[in-house]
Structure 1
């Protein structure tokens, strides 16, 4: 494992975001296994929130889909979120992310299009649309 991935793994363990991710996986009855670059993959997540193809808490990448779903661009996108948890000092990422969703919704009418965390993780890799702001489209009322 690369040094940066090991550092991310340790920071997300110490800042408690990975333990929270494991608790969420347990609550959602997901099967957890070791993945690449220090990540943990939680497949078969059964709770209906959040509504996403995959989401990340600490170094835990959760999905309702079966094993094998977390590959390619989506996995790179979710791995970037794991790094964001390390830089945001863990659990503060959750309220900051909710704030970013609200701001994105207000600006574009979509929860990810102007969400700074989704943009930094690459909208295209996450399967999110690129939208202009409502001000540019003239739809802000």
Structure 2
């Protein structure tokens, strides 16, 4: 593992974002015969398939170094663009002091929704993670805001 990914893993454990991600994986994933099935995605990332809570509505989302995925974990592992997008979110948790990223992300998502009608297009966390890699299309500003730049 590259030293930068090792540092990211350590920082995300210390800032409590990875433990929170593991707790979510235990609480909100389904697997026959017990708890979540965690699979390594490399670079210190873990994928928990079978996420079933109603929010967030995304196919995949990351908390610390844990990527929660609605389908089977192998589906995410077979999608290198989405995996790269989620890995960038993991790095953002290390930059943003861990769980502090959650309210920051939600605030940015709300601003993006107000500006263009979707959660991602003007959310800096999603833009820095790569909108296209995450399966998002960049939407323009709402019509009444376009002339006010």
**What TM-score do you get using the length of structure 1 for normalisation?**
0.94
Tell me how large the CA RMSD over aligned residues is: 1.3
Q: Secondary structure, in 3 states, of the residue corresponding to 2:112?
A: helix
Q: How does 1:1-141 map to 2 (within 5 A)?
A: 1-29=1-29, 30-70=36-76, 71-134=79-142, 135-136=145-146
User: SS state of the match for residue 124, structure 1?
Assistant: coil
**Any gaps of 5 or more consecutive residues in structure 1?**
none
Q: Report the count of equivalent residues.
A: 138
Q: Deviations over 1:84-118 (max 9, x none)?
A: 00000101000000001100001101111111100
Distance 1:137 1:59 in 2: 41
- After superposing on structure 2, the runs of 4+ consecutive aligned residues of structure 1 that deviate more than 3 Å are none
Whether the 8 Å CA contact 2:47–2:67 is kept in 1: the answer is yes
Q: Within 1, Cα distance between the matches of 2:86 and 2:147?
A: 30
